[in-house]
Structure 1
Amino acid sequence: MTSRDLGSISEEDRSGRLGGIALSKEERDALRGIALASIRSGLAHHRPQEPAMSEVSSRLREPGATFVTLNLRGQLRGCVGSLEARRPLAEDVAKNAYSAAFGDPRFPPLSWEELADLEVHISLLSPLEPLLVRNRRALLELLRPDVDGLVMEDPPHRATFLPQVWGSLPEPENFLGELFLKAGLGRDHWSETVSFSRYSVYEF
């Protein structure tokens, strides 16, 4: 699996750098191992594997926000993540990998038979950037296809699309409409209380 440019990261940057945060190849490999160990623990013991924090680098002990996406034979098999950095990066990956495999309500729990063909993708999120817009048109003009992940909030509704979703929804109008639908709202929804934030990701 190779790194892909899904935010402000150039394809040539192999250090896993996002917003001043850098992950070495060894750290990225360690996070993949943590994700797989947590999934295997879920299959064997029905709980996530707690990473050995004393054995990971200091960077992986710092707070971080991640999404873990599981693909099986080219199809989505689960995706769960954190929008804000509230726990150590290694722990966040372990918990999100377990939840993606066994807690995504769109899919049944992962089975042992699926493990061999499972692909694990980890997305490291930048801090959220609020978008101050007064109307739908202004928001659409700000969106950067293939770069922005988008969070929509209109309490009690909340939803997000990772930047990877632009691959299947390349038009900003459709991207936004599907995000509203994901949140349980109408495609053309707008209100005085709706708010948006964007972020970029580094996926590996």
Structure 2
Amino acid sequence: MSVTSCQSLNKGELTQLLDVARDAIHGHFSSGCPQPPQLDLYTRRLLQPGACFVTLTVNGQLQGCLGTIIARSPLVMEVYNRARASAYQDRRFMPLTEDQLDDLQIEVSVLCQPETLTVSSEQELINYLGNNKVGLILSDGHQQALFLPQVWQSLPKAEHFVRQLKLKAGWNASYWSPTMKVQTFTVNSIKGKYYF
């Protein structure tokens, strides 16, 4: 089964995914039962398995962000499910409320296939990231953490980017291991206001 290539999605397809995320959130507040997307309305590319994250902000403050790095289900369904999860299941935040909707922004990020980056030290990784503002996944043993490329907007220095990602994973800021697995990735993303 082929996997959605984020490079192949056009603006129209990304706009459709943003609409799917809006519908997922709207369905929670409407009187009827939430209705998942009708798959026959979407292009073949949006029906291929895809990995994505859905990020929600209210007045510029993070309100939820959940996703996956493994493509298991059709991208359109993955966006729908991750939008609902980001709104109501991200344990870092209280569930989204109706009075937040006017100030809600939704960002859908479709992940390109992560690539392993071979580095011999944390400093070598920092040097690489100084010239390559990509998404980053660090994993060692059972612990793993991911930053989307958009995180560079709030953490523009490579050493801070890596340090905060390690803290997110549950390691201390100075932790490094010879078994650390480093992966980088890019995304194709679209952002817009919630409206209905």
> Is this a same-fold pair by TM over 0.5?
yes
Greater helix fraction, Structure 1 or Structure 2: 2
Cα distance between partner residues in 1 of 2:32 and 2:161:
36
Cα distance between partner residues in 2 of 1:202 and 1:163:
10
Residue of 59, 68, 74 corresponding to 1:82: 68
SS in 2 for 1:21: helix
Does residue 50 of structure 1 match 2:39? no
Counterpart residue identity of residue 102, structure 2: A
Paired residue for 2:193? none
Residue of 174, 179, 182 corresponding to 1:196: 182
- CA drift of 1:146 comes to 6.6
Give CA deviations for 1:28-68 in whole Å, capped at 9, x if unaligned: 22111111111122335898642111111111101111111
Residue of 93, 101, 124 corresponding to 2:87: 101
CA contact 2:20–2:37 (8 Å) conserved in 1: yes
Cα distance between partner residues in 2 of 1:190 and 1:45:
50
**Structure 1 portions without partners, runs of 5+:** 1-17
Does residue 156 of structure 1 match 2:132? no
Q: Under a length normalisation based on structure 1, what TM-score does the superposition of the two structures give?
A: 0.84
Of 43-52 and 54-63, more deviation after overlay is shown by: 43-52
CA contact 2:114–2:184 (8 Å) conserved in 1: yes
Paired residue for 1:7? none
Cα distance between partner residues in 1 of 2:124 and 2:86:
34
Cα distance between partner residues in 1 of 2:27 and 2:66:
17
RMSD over equivalenced CA pairs, Å: 2.1
Cα distance between partner residues in 1 of 2:112 and 2:57:
23
Cα distance between partner residues in 2 of 1:195 and 1:96:
25
Cα distance between partner residues in 2 of 1:47 and 1:177:
43
Counterpart residue identity of residue 21, structure 1: Q
**Structure 2 portions without partners, runs of 5+:** 191-196
Give CA deviations for 1:118-171 in whole Å, capped at 9, x if unaligned: 111111111000011121112112225673100010122110111111111111
SS in 2 for 1:189: coil
Give CA deviations for 1:72-117 in whole Å, capped at 9, x if unaligned: 1111111111112221110110011011101111110111111222
Cα distance between partner residues in 2 of 1:96 and 1:34:
10
CA contact 1:48–1:95 (8 Å) conserved in 2: no
SS in 2 for 1:64: coil
Q: Under a length normalisation based on structure 2, what TM-score does the superposition of the two structures give?
A: 0.87
Residue of 171, 181, 184 corresponding to 2:170: 184
